[in-house]
Structure 1
């Protein structure tokens, strides 16, 4: 009895004799002699061409078989995107692959992963299917990015989302915030020229204008902080405490000027600066409060003396006028009499003189 083997329309057969490949078989019916070492391996043409335990190169010597195969050889530095009838199927790594071309059209896109940036020609819709072979980095709208390949600077990147292939070259993006930023120096102890130790709260605003220069500086914010600290020490150390308190508003202008002298070295521009607080030691504060209280008391005494002097001068002028003018003197007497009468409940008068004469005699007696 012959052994019958049927090769269907969507199949191809591979004939082996004693384990060695002989030829490939088209759809049809084939009979194998009994007790022979012949074997037909059936392959579905909708699947990739592969024989377990056999090297692909063994079959590529058959020219008739090659007519029905699409073969692709992928190098170590490549990824290949495989499309069947225009639809993405898979990402393939280094190796040699073969696909039947009798029912489907196969297209391939080669990617050189020595240049890890994913090109604009690659459809972003497939990224979810190849997530294990790429990684993503983002540059926010308020940032600029610096692209590095294996720590070597490549170019500056605008805001957006960037994809990179995993491979021998590692891509990284270092971002720099381009918004205006604030640097706060809080409770910084400093000593004045007259050896008074105080604490200073200071603030300045700046913006990075040279991102690459800023990235070249290790611990950028720490170094800007130290620069501000040194400038403040330089200024405070040349002034006595009284001068420092009196010239408080001038600190900001001096510090801002000195900061901008160094701005190019740090790739920044400083916009404003100012003193928030000057905190004095407790004993110094008590002394200043005592001095302030004494000054205010002295000012109050001075004002009192001025008022007394003015009052005395006014009385003297009035006395001179009354001495020179008897009518004015008489009117002044009547004014005082009116005030006296306001405090007296009753006045008893005796004698034959009328009221005005008796009052006149009272005033005359008082003189």
Structure 2
């Protein structure tokens, strides 16, 4: 019973990518059993879906594979089989091909698609009428070339990025686009330019990760019809002109100087308040000022200076000044006698 359920669950996977994304454990060789047909096929084989027009569809891709062959096509096919039979066993080494685990092969017979993507392993082609193209499924990395761009606030910058992508559908990569690698590279450069043109310089420098995610989403949506999946985008460097770097450095230096002046002013304010409190404490006791003078003299003498200026407090001279104060007073002015006026 468990084996039948396992076979039914395996038959629901249409290709190797769906089987791998499902997270189902398995060995190196996996086969999907078609219960209705009673035959076994590789897990990476894409079963075509018959559309209304009778043409097979590979996940939305219409092909002319099921159209009947003409007389000339039948004749060429028969001749190719005869050539294979006559030249065997030498033709065996030519007609049997092998693709690695990370590759898929798309076969065209007389220009028409012959089955889905083949591989990994061995497959057979007929001489003279079959041709195949291999597609690498591994992740490809390329650098988006540096290019000067204009930001939203009219600043010229030079930006370069790294893009990681892989082929998710070999049929789409071969049939729907001529060169998926070149197309993806050109689209990445254009998308990077468009995204940079809609951002300010400050956003470009501080929100680099968000810009990379936006670029990845845009590229992934655009390359999905080509069978290309963009896995990751990283912005490597944002270069500014020398004049802009100097202007930004001057602005940052001016901001730091302004903060330093504010901090120094706050320190002066706090020190002035502390000196005011100290002066209030010293003024409450006359002897405290003399002790402060002695402390200052002690600190000055420790520096071994040749000249010492010692302030003499006026409070020490107060008793002497009190004794000599009467002598220092001026005598009173004598009063002149008044002459009586004679009135007639």
| TM-score normalised per structure 1 | 0.54
Contact 2:96 2:125 in 1 (8 A): yes
Which structure features the higher share of strand residues?
1
> SS of 2:145's equivalent?
strand
Task: Return the match for 2:151 from 192, 196, 203.
Answer: 192
Task: Show the counterpart of 1:337.
Answer: 297
- Rg larger in structure: 1
Aligned partners of 2:113 and 2:268: how far apart in 1?
A: 83
**Pair 1:308-2:302 in alignment:** no
Contact 1:134 1:163 in 2 (8 A): no
CA drift of 1:278 comes to: 1.0
Aligned partners of 1:76 and 1:177: how far apart in 2?
A: 32
Task: Show the counterpart of 2:100.
Answer: 140
Task: Show the counterpart of 1:8.
Answer: none
| TM-score normalised per structure 2 | 0.57
CA drift of 1:142 comes to: 1.4
Indicate how the Cα distance of structure 1 residues 310 and 222 shifts in structure 2: closer, same or farther if over 3 A, else same.
farther
Indicate how the Cα distance of structure 1 residues 205 and 344 shifts in structure 2: closer, same or farther if over 3 A, else same.
closer
The C-alpha deviation readout for 1:41-79, integer Å capped at 9, x for no partner, is: xxxxxxxxxxxxxxxxxxxxxxxxxxxxxxxxxx84544
> SS of 1:218's equivalent?
coil
Aligned partners of 2:247 and 2:276: how far apart in 1?
A: 44
**Pair 1:173-2:167 in alignment:** no
| Unmatched runs of 5 consecutive residues or more in structure 1 | 1-74, 82-90, 94-125, 347-358
Indicate how the Cα distance of structure 1 residues 77 and 278 shifts in structure 2: closer, same or farther if over 3 A, else same.
closer
Contact 2:104 2:137 in 1 (8 A): yes
Which runs of 4 or more aligned residues in structure 1 lie more than 6 Å from their structure 2 counterparts after TM superposition?
none
Bigger relative CO (Cα 8 Å, ≥ 6 apart)? 2
**Pair 1:283-2:243 in alignment:** yes
Q: CA RMSD in A?
A: 3.6
Matches within 5 A, 1:314-333: 314-324=274-284, 329=289, 331-333=291-293
Matches within 5 A, 1:37-186: 76=79, 78-79=81-82, 92=86, 127=89, 130-131=90-91, 134-154=94-114, 155-167=116-128, 169=129, 171-186=130-145
| Unmatched runs of 5 consecutive residues or more in structure 2 | 1-77, 319-344
Aligned partners of 1:220 and 1:276: how far apart in 2?
A: 23
Aligned partners of 1:285 and 1:294: how far apart in 2?
A: 14
Aligned partners of 1:365 and 1:343: how far apart in 2?
A: 27
Aligned partners of 1:364 and 1:342: how far apart in 2?
A: 26
Aligned partners of 1:319 and 1:263: how far apart in 2?
A: 79
Aligned length: 237
Aligned partners of 1:256 and 1:305: how far apart in 2?
A: 50
Task: Show the counterpart of 2:232.
Answer: 272
